[in-house]
Amino acid sequence: MIIRELYRQHFKPEFLKLAGALSIFMFLFINSGYTQSIGYYTGAACTFNTLTEIANGCTSPNYFTIQYNMASGTYPAGWTLEVKANGDFSNGSTTIPAQYVSLAFNTANGGPGGVTGTGYQVLNTAQSVSLINTSEQLKTPPTYYFEHKLNMKVQGGNHLKVETGTYSTTLTVILRSKQGNVIATNSNVQASFVVNFTNSCQGVTLNSYSSNQNSFTTYAEQMAGATVTDALSVQYAPNGATCDGWRLDVRASGNFTNGAQSVAPQYFSLRFNRVSTGTPTASQIGVDNTPVVLNNTDVILINGSNAPFGANVFTEHKFDMIIQGGNHLLVPNGTYTGTLIFSLYNSNNVLISTTTVSVSFLVNTVNSSLTLELQNSANEIDLVFNTLESYANGVSVTKARGMRVVGYQPYQVMIKTSGLNLIGTDNSTIPVAAVNVQTTKYTSSSGGISTFTRALSTVDQIIVTNPMVDNTQQVIEYNLRYYTAPNDSRLSGKTGIFNTTVLFVIIPQ
């Protein structure tokens, strides 16, 4: 009231008008010193605590509140808000690509109307993307301050199966005019989400043991092979880990050996049988019962489990061992032992734990009353074709007393080859049937014994039958003659050294 009185008493109306005009001018001058700026604050971040959340992803509504502080100016409709990722999301040691995160306009708080969102836009580290369309101008005054709310969505999937931690990056937010000019920008907008679910499998330990050793007691069993049910057990102690996507591998450290004798690991397979204790189940894991052939390098037994371990739940898996039958088992009697190494890897192919186990099988097929010996250099046969007459007449090599058998019960001797062909140095072939083997008794005093001539084959063929009529038949020596037929076309045009292996097998009758 006092001031008003002073004005009325001491100032003329014309001066009051001028003073009023001056005060308005000063206000505009002060505002014109303001700069356009963008601020922000964030809401609750996406947090991934379970495997389900990892798979499904997460949306954080109104995660960003973008604040616009405007100086005077007028910008026609078509102005927009753009955003660009300055880098991928990282917790310092592990990175998740920005392409798995997208933003979308939600609502406006103040400011001009006519703002609509462009939908979820995937973050890009190379260029900015527009989040809004506008149909009204942005004018200051009257709009000096307003806000936009933005949703942030993190796509679910294996890319989230990473180390635990807060994954962060910075964004550049740009308010851009219709003409493409930058009105305001902020290049340090912090964005983050949290992964609490660990997929590292750290803390899981393995153990293993073997059981149910197989024994081959007959030639027929050696040829048929065997399946040893529950031959091996692998035990998992997850402790606190609940990772999924883990993988179980196995490798053989070498051959199955008995002194100097050995059988290669590729004749053995492991087959998942069952989950005998603990979780997850076989169906939850996604494992089947397909046999896996052993090798000297890692082969996969369980590939990328579809389910995690139960935290602190002891688990055991049973595996069958399949032993392939065949000539490789025609080895001297004894126990053949191999070492297998099981390895657990997490979903990022990081080795977590290993365990080593010995597994063995027994060969005891040749009766102690039967022995067969190749003697007088009969263990190596050379058929030489070096003249035209060799092809025309055939070639013959005889090993007198080449085979010696000691037996105290009736027996048969069989012969076969390891392959269908003799293999040349240049990988050309000759069928093994091009070579014949004739067996005869060295002495004629042993009655009742039958001998035969056979063309070589991979099939078992009897070359001696001894019914053991009397004790004169207990120690017998046999002649072995290898020969080819005259003018055999299978040998025509062949040059080089050709090889195969001939197996002699004695079995009791």
237 and 325 housed in the same domain: yes
Residue carrying structure tokens 């080593």: 356
172 and 236 housed in the same domain: no
Decide: helix, strand or coil at residue 444.
Answer: coil
Three-state secondary structure of 272-292? EEEEEECCCCHHHHCCCCCCE
| Joined tokens for residue 69 | 């502080």
User: Would you say residue 12 has pLDDT above 50?
Assistant: no
76 and 169 housed in the same domain: yes
268 and 157 housed in the same domain: no
Round to whole Å and give the CA distance between 397 and 437.
10
218 and 329 housed in the same domain: yes
309, 415, 454, 481 from 438: Cα distances, Å: 64, 11, 6, 5
- Assess if residue 17 is contained within a domain: no
Q: What is the pLDDT of residue 137?
A: 96
Q: Domain ends where: 363, 392, 408?
A: 363
- Assess if residue 81 is contained within a domain: yes
Higher-pLDDT residue of 486, 446:
486
Supply the DSSP string of 18-68, one letter for each residue. HHHHHHHHHHHHHHTT---EEEEEE-PPPEE-SHHHHHH-EEEEEEEEEEE
Q: What is the pLDDT of residue 1?
A: 33
What CATH number did the domain enclosing 189 receive? 2.60.40
pLDDT digits (tens, 9 = 90+) for 191-237: 999 998 888 898 999 999 999 999 999 999 999 999 999 999 999 99
Q: What is the pLDDT of residue 368?
A: 63
User: Would you say residue 462 has pLDDT above 50?
Assistant: yes
41 and 177 housed in the same domain: yes
- CA 63: distance to chain centroid? 38
328 and 449 housed in the same domain: no
40-66 b/e (C-beta count within 10 Å ≥ 16 → b): bebeebbebeebebbeebbebeebbbb
Q: Please count the structural domains in the chain.
A: 3
Residue carrying structure tokens 């990473």: 162
Average pLDDT over residues 287-301: 97
Higher-pLDDT residue of 245, 297:
297
74 and 177 housed in the same domain: yes
- Assess if residue 7 is contained within a domain: no
Q: What is the pLDDT of residue 10?
A: 36
- Assess if residue 200 is contained within a domain: no
pLDDT digits (tens, 9 = 90+) for 231-278: 999 999 999 888 888 999 999 999 999 999 999 999 999 999 999 999
Q: Write phi, then psi, for 381 (nearest 5 degrees).
A: -120, 130
352 and 421 housed in the same domain: no
Q: What is the pLDDT of residue 162?
A: 84
Average pLDDT over residues 39-50: 95
Q: What is the pLDDT of residue 311?
A: 86
What CATH number did the domain enclosing 286 receive? 2.60.40.3590
Q: Domain ends where: 195, 229, 250?
A: 195
135-147 b/e (C-beta count within 10 Å ≥ 16 → b): eeebebeeeeebb
Q: Domain ends where: 363, 397, 427?
A: 363
**Pair 482, 436: CB distance under 8 Å:** yes
**Pair 289, 270: CB distance under 8 Å:** no
Q: What is the pLDDT of residue 443?
A: 85
- Assess if residue 427 is contained within a domain: yes
- Other C-beta atoms lying within 10 Å of the C-beta of residue 117: 20
Q: What is the pLDDT of residue 367?
A: 64
Rounded to 5°, angle at Cα 94 from 187 and 102:
45
- pLDDT confidence of 2, banded at 50, 70, 90? very low
- Other C-beta atoms lying within 10 Å of the C-beta of residue 167: 27
- Other C-beta atoms lying within 10 Å of the C-beta of residue 212: 12
403 and 352 housed in the same domain: no
Lowest mean pLDDT among 9-13, 156-160, 495-499: 9-13
User: Would you say residue 366 has pLDDT above 60?
Assistant: yes
- Assess if residue 8 is contained within a domain: no
Q: Is the peptide bond before 265 cis (omega within 30 degrees of 0)?
A: no
- Assess if residue 21 is contained within a domain: no
pLDDT digits (tens, 9 = 90+) for 369-423: 789 999 999 999 999 999 999 999 999 999 999 999 999 889 999 999 999 999 9
Round to whole Å and give the CA distance between 439 and 126.
83
- Other C-beta atoms lying within 10 Å of the C-beta of residue 341: 15
Q: What is the pLDDT of residue 127?
A: 96
| Joined tokens for residue 324 | 């392939």
149 and 217 housed in the same domain: no
Q: What is the mean pLDDT of the chain?
A: 90
The fraction of the chain above a pLDDT of 90, given in percent, is: 80
Domain hosting 124: range is: 31-195
228 and 184 housed in the same domain: no
Residues 6+ apart with CB under 8 A from 337: 256, 257, 258, 358, 359, 360
- pLDDT confidence of 42, banded at 50, 70, 90? very high
pLDDT digits (tens, 9 = 90+) for 155-169: 999 899 888 899 999
- Assess if residue 474 is contained within a domain: yes
pLDDT digits (tens, 9 = 90+) for 101-155: 999 999 999 999 999 999 999 999 999 999 999 999 999 999 999 999 999 999 9
User: Would you say residue 28 has pLDDT above 80?
Assistant: no
